[in-house]
Amino acid sequence: MVEMSEISEISETQGIKIIRKIIHNAFVIAKGDKELLATKSRYSTHYGERKYGELREWIPYRSKFAAVLLKGYSIEIPPDCKMLYLGAASGTTVSHVADIVDQGIIYAVEYSAKPFSKFLELATERENIIPLLEDASKPWRYSGIVEEVDFIYQDISQKEQIGIFKLNSEYFLKKGGEGLIMVKARSIDSTTEPQEIYESVLDEIASSFEIKAYGSLEPYHRDHIFIHTVK
Amino acid sequence: MGVEKIYRVWFGEVYAENGKFKARRSDNLIESFKECLKNKEKIPFSLIKAGTEIFGSEEMYYKNLRKVAISTAYEKVEENLKRDDRYLIMLLKAVDEIDQSINLFEEKIRDIEEIKITKTTVEFREAVKNLKKLRKSIQDEINDLAAKIMPNVTEILGGVLSARLLEKAGSLKRLSSLPASTIQILGAEKSLFKAVSRIKKGKPAKTPKHGLIFQHPFIRTLPKSRRGKMARFMAAKLAIAARIDYYSGELNESLLEAIKRKYEELR
């Protein structure tokens, strides 16, 4: 739902026009004849994106979540959402999600130290991010840290990613909680046709979750699909 | 009844007493944070509820948690980045030595068994078997670790070969600063210098086309005349991969894709 008051609060500078609101603090904006996605943020840029006034451009080629939204699929995420984010990497997507859940909390898990050192800069700046340098396939390790969450976002391009998602949902996702999974066909099996992989992945998820929607991320990311689930 | 079970949580302990959960705050939050990473099971109560009791409010709970998580993460990142490449190189060397030992021992045990089989020879067999098991688990760790510290190079070469490249270069920092032409012939130094000294003397000589990376199936399986081209191309991509690994650490799939395309073209 578009709340006009919220939109008019944002200064329309630099030839930017807000077209519509997608989620809390996330908007489709027009710059010249181009349509862009952006989140409202009081923080500065993180990964070289542009900033128009209070709006930070959200680049779909860099962030799969942005690609999902720009493909026209909208997901309800309340501003006070508690989220477990698996595969934070250097924080490109997390920075925007942190804009969206500005009254919530994000538990961000990443296993690799290199991108994490960049991510830590973001986590230090934002008050709603709790960084965990942990292996997402071992959720018991952070069971004494992460509380029950409303939402699990997963983007970890690993062979076992569906198993890892299920395990984390068992540990942390509350009943009725939602999940958004980015599936990369190539990392599950590089020899099988993506279409076949998607079918088996969807079957595997359907055995324990309700699937709300799924779809490809073309043309932004090749051989990827997103899956939106409910526990 | 009394205390039934104690659960470790980041801010201390929660114990079940007479069917109720009670929380106790630790004196050192950083220590208890690290301690609870040893947990092996799901927590059956609401963390945030127990924590709010301890810290007074949700706001304070998150504030403390964030502070502890960030400082632990900084410490861990530093620790991780500092030692991982050296550790990987040492593991690789260990595997090579274990390989030699296994060969040696197996030969010996075969000779002994031909003469007589006793309790001792059975034990000997067992020891060799265990050594093989150890070898397998070190190899697995090499693969995991290589994918963690140099995801892009490992995506192209696989764990063991990447580790060998790293060993030759000495460190990830050094590997990331090598030109592609050097990466191409890493491991073929002997034949390179032989060729160079011949050229200096004015004799005909051929410089090597490839070093370690010859072991990659994409080069090995090509006809001889096209291996040089492929090695050059792969080395160029590896140089980029090593730099991404050292400076950013995020996986970029386009490198392997380009190599695959080139291979199809040359095949």
Residue pLDDT, tens place only, B72-101: 999 998 887 777 888 899 999 999 999 999
**Amino acid identity for residue A166 in this structure:** K
CB-nearest partner of A133 from B65, B73, B245: B73
As given in the structure block, the two tokens for residue A42 are: 């009081």
Q: b/e per residue, A114-143, with b = 16+ CB within 10 A?
A: bbbbbbbebbeebebbbbbbbbbbbbebbb
d(CA B144, CA B148): 6
- The C-alpha angle B89, B93, B95, rounded to 5 degrees, equals 115
Per-residue model confidence as pLDDT tens digits over B135-157: 999 999 999 889 888 999 999 99
Write out the two tokens for A1.
């739902």
A112 neighbourhood in chain B, CB within 8 Å: 148-149, 151, 249
Sort out which chain A residues have CB atoms less than 8 A from B68's CB and list them.
none
User: CA A94 to CA A56: how far, in whole Å?
Assistant: 13
Contact A144, B43 (CB under 8 A): yes
Q: What is the DSSP letter of A36?
A: E
Q: In Å, how far is A171's CA from the nearest CA of chain B?
A: 6
* Cβ of residue B48 closer than 8 Å to a chain A Cβ: yes
Q: In chain A, what residues touch B65 (CB-CB under 8 Å)? A: 130, 145
Nearest to B39 among A89, A111, A141 (CB): A141
A-chain CB neighbours of B33 within 8 Å are 145
pLDDT tens for each residue of B210-258? 888 889 989 989 998 899 999 999 999 999 999 998 888 788 888 998 9
Cα-Cα-Cα-Cα dihedral of B127, B130, B135, B136, to 10°? 160
Cis peptide before A194 (omega within 30 of 0): no
pLDDT surpasses 80 at B176: yes
Selection from A93, A229, A210, A74 nearest residue A152 by Cα: A229
What is the DSSP-derived secondary structure letter of residue A82?
A: E
CA–CA min distance A230, chain B (Å)? 21
For the ranges A3-12, A96-105, B22-31, the one whose mean pLDDT is highest: A96-105
Residue pair A218/A229 in contact by the 8 Å Cβ criterion: no
Query: Taking a contact as any Cβ pair under 8 Å apart, which residues of chain B between 109 and 128 contact chain A?
Result: none
**A116 sits in which H/E element:** helix A113-125
What amino acid occupies position B79?
Answer: E
Q: pLDDT tens, B91-134?
A: 999 999 999 999 999 999 999 999 988 999 999 999 999 999 99
User: Are residues B65 and A124, on separate chains, in Cβ contact within 8 Å?
Assistant: no
| Residue B36 contacts A where some CB pair is shorter than 8 Å | yes
User: Which residue intervals of chain A are DSSP H helices?
Assistant: 4-9, 64-70, 92-100, 113-125, 161-172, 185-188, 194-206
Interface test with A, best of B29, B47, B141, B152 (most A CBs within 10 A): B47
CB contact under 8 A, B62 and A144: no
Nearest to B44 by CA among B77, B84, B9, B71: B9
Question: Maximum distance among all alpha carbons in chain B?
Answer: 93
Look at B73 and A131 and tell me if their CB atoms are within 8 Å. yes
Q: Could A113 and B69 be called an inter-chain contact, meaning their C-beta atoms sit closer than 8 Å? A: no
Average pLDDT score, chain A = 90
Contact A142 B74 (CB under 8 A): no
**Closest alpha carbon within chain B to A156:** B251
ipTM metric:
0.89
CA nearest to A128, candidates A94, A86, A90: A94
Question: Can you give the pLDDT at residue A1?
Answer: 47
pTM above 0.80, yes or no: no
Identity of the residue numbered B46:
S
How far is Cα A12 from Cα A69, in angstroms, rounded to an integer?
22
3-state secondary structure of A193: coil
- pLDDT confidence tier of residue A38, bands split at 50, 70 and 90: very high
Identify the three-state secondary structure at position B34: helix
Pairing, β B12-17 against β A105-110: unpaired
